Amino acid sequence: MTRKTMKVSNITCAQCAKSIETYFDTLDDVDAKVLVTSKKVIFNYKEETYDQDQLANHLRIIGYYPILNSEEMEKAKKRDLIDLILAAVLTFPLLWTMFVHLGIPIYVPEILMNGFVQWAIATPILFYVGRRFFQATYHQIKGRNLGMDTLVVLGTSAAYIFSIYQTLTYSSHGMQHMPDLYFETTAVIIFMVMIGNFFENRVKEKTSDALQSLISLGAKEARVRRDGKEIMLSVDEVQPGDIMIVLANEKIALDGIIIKGKSYVDEAMITGEPMPSFKDVGASVIGSTLNMIETIEVKVTAVGSDTVLANIIQMVEDTALIKPKAQRIADKIAALFVPVVVLISIIVFILWAFVIGGGHPLGEAFAPAIAVLVISCPCALGLATPTSISVGSGIAFKEGILYKGGEFFEVANKINAIAFDKTGTLTKGHPELSDFLGEKDTLVYSASLEKHSNHPIAKSITDAFDGDYLEVEDFEVMLGKGVKGIINKRIVYVGSLNMLKDLKLDPKTFDYNLYLSQGKTVFFTVIDSKVVNMLAVEDPIKETAKGVISELKRRNITPYMITGDQQITAEYIASLLGIEHVFAEVLPHEKAQKILEIQQTGKVVAFVGDGINDAPALKMADVGFAVGSGSDIAIDTSDVTLMSYDLGLVIKAIDLSLATLKNIYLNFFWAFAYNIVMIPLAASGLLNPSLAGIGMGFSSIMVVLNALSLNLFKFKNIPMEA
């Protein structure tokens, strides 16, 4: 089976996913899974039966627009914009007439009050601009999964049909004054829903495509030895067993094993760890990581889809498919509300036609039945969620919190476990000099020597030194051990315990084991064969981390740590923060599995991370928080981005989501209160059209005002322990 990912411009909700997946389930030799948040369909299919164009045509048949290239992307954006502008232009004159319904004394041109004119204006809005809703509804009905699109079609069509009936009825009776009509309801519903979809799409486009960003990280070419010559080849042409020559400061193109040379390799973009790894002959290296110091020769062991980076790409896709698709509250309500309203309408028609009507024309039974559908229009329901989320997102942005979609607001209140990555999330993500033991005047020798190294640990030492550097001669890097040089005619070394062993020196004057047990890295300075100082380097904990963990535990939210770092370091950091549940030495592809294991215990899990290796876990979690200082990939695959180092934003994001959710529920109360009062009046034939119009406008206004009341929300002060 061949795997193909295809972008689709108009996937907006879980119902879209169900419609697409249900349709392709009816076809042989193809399987489709939908990534709602990134608006993509992942196909697994037989090449003998399908190609890309055929799959795209099937999507078009069911009303979805595949994006196969940048030109089609621009066409889709242009099409959406044209539809929105056309809806705005045509809705405005109909909206003008609504003031008459509301009893507001304002001048409205007489021609706009003519039912035939309103009919002519509303028709292109419903059937051209709103065509996407009819297409989606058709496939939702076929797939037996009614959603908000069905509610939109129900409300707009009922208002349209009833208004036509009113227009024709009054016209046939020769009456001069047209009755109250609902053509403007048809237009406003479609226009409001399209505005919501348009801005949601623009927000999603502002974040770069996560998978495309991952793909771009890989090297495009590799320097390969063939027939005794070094040639540059596309990575697609490289085969397992080929020998790659990788120079200093070059990307290692593909996964392999070092067969010659040794160097430091920066693997932070894969592992998230800030310390470069020392690699000698026989060590494995990962494609797309950076060779820092010396030229190495690498025997290729994996190409194409077998590489670590390719596996992470596929894992990001697969974990998004495993993660349950959040169904919006409005869609859940629509699934129940639509059949109930239709059933009430049918019952009203039957009662009026055969029980109450007593032989009167069917038109008299038709009127209250359609009135039930009209009065149940989803105008307030459609506004309930997007208005609250829009206001909540604006408040969050001012605090440095960026939400990716509305689903977060409906899940965050259920979170009872939060897992944290260590490096760059709980810690600052860069080493600092934490301890200095020895003769203080020897620090200048350590710093002067390290000034010539580009290793992150060297920077931590020079950052801690405030003074003038000494001149260094014959500087030399001792790979995997340290650095060496001559300062003031004295031989100076700065390096690890392995370096001291080579020099046959014993650092017995320093209790270095104490610092190793705390997860710190220790180095020693040697001057003329004498160990003169010890330097301990650590990745320091963020100032806000301990307070956040304490607050989570107070709220009965269980904190976890998931890290690729060694067990001793992880447990020491966890003990300082008060985290009892620790997963250490976890490989990048295993982080998502750990999240799944926690979920399988019945917990709703959030994950907070910042590295490329965190991307699958961010996708797998019920809610993914990316620290804004992290990689683009982590940010793109998360549900929420924290735009500063402050972990207290996690608490603020959850608190604001709870307030927003309560606001959404109150909006639904207003929307339903209107329906509960008006539907019986419509069913009994006592409905005054003007009253209905006032009620409709009032319910929508209450929804908007209630959403704006969110601006009164105040964040709680979280006690931050140092």
Active site residues: 421
**Cβ(285)–Cβ(257) below 8 Å:** yes
Biggest distance spanned by C-alpha atoms of the chain:
117
Instruction: Check the CA dihedral 619-620-623-625 and report its sign.
Output: negative
Helix/strand/coil for 336: helix
Strand partners, 607: 419, 624
Q: How far is residue 605's CA from residue 412's CA, in Å, rounded to a whole number?
A: 9
Q: How far is residue 117's CA from residue 611's CA, in Å, rounded to a whole number?
A: 59
Q: How far is residue 2's CA from residue 457's CA, in Å, rounded to a whole number?
A: 46
Element (H, E) at 414: none
The residue behind tokens 């190409």 is 303
Comparing CA positions, the residue from 191, 244, 194 lying closest to residue 221 is: 244
The residue behind tokens 């009905």 is 141
Please enumerate in sequence order all residues whose Cβ is within 8 A of that of 720, keeping only pairs 6 or more positions apart, or say none: 543, 544, 546, 547, 548, 648
Transcribe 642-685 into DSSP letters: E-SS-THHHHHHHHHHHHHHHHHHHHHHHHHHHHHHHHHHHHHT
Are β-strands 473-478 and 482-487 bridged in parallel, bridged antiparallel, or unpaired? antiparallel
Are β-strands 640-642 and 40-45 bridged in parallel, bridged antiparallel, or unpaired? unpaired
**Cβ(501)–Cβ(477) below 8 Å:** no
Q: How far is residue 410's CA from residue 412's CA, in Å, rounded to a whole number?
A: 6
**Cβ(569)–Cβ(537) below 8 Å:** no
Helix and strand numbers (H, E) in the chain are 25, 27
**Cβ(95)–Cβ(122) below 8 Å:** no
Q: How far is residue 551's CA from residue 721's CA, in Å, rounded to a whole number?
A: 10
Helices (H), 351-473: 362-375, 379-399, 407-411, 443-450, 456-464
Transcribe 506-571 into DSSP letters: --TTS-HHHHHHTT-EEEEEEETTEEEEEEEEE-PBPTTHHHHHHHHHHTTPEEEEE-SS-HHHHH
Please enumerate in sequence order all residues whose Cβ is within 8 A of that of 332, keeping only pairs 6 or more positions apart, or say none: none
Are β-strands 417-420 and 558-562 bridged in parallel, bridged antiparallel, or unpaired? parallel
Q: How far is CA 583 from CA 540, 591, 592, in A?
A: 19, 9, 12
Q: How far is CA 255 from CA 239, 307, 616, 690, in A?
A: 11, 6, 20, 72
What amino acid occupies position 492?
V
Task: Tell me the two tokens of residue 589.
Answer: 């592809």
Transcribe 300-331 into DSSP letters: E---GGGSHHHHHHHHHHHHHHHSPPPPPHHH
Strand partners, 271: none
Q: How far is residue 328's CA from residue 308's CA, in Å, rounded to a whole number?
A: 35
Instruction: Give the distance from CA 171 to its chain's centroid.
Output: 54
**Cβ(633)–Cβ(615) below 8 Å:** yes
What amino acid occupies position 125?
I
> How many beta carbons lie within 10 A of that of residue 627, not counting itself?
30
**Cβ(409)–Cβ(548) below 8 Å:** no
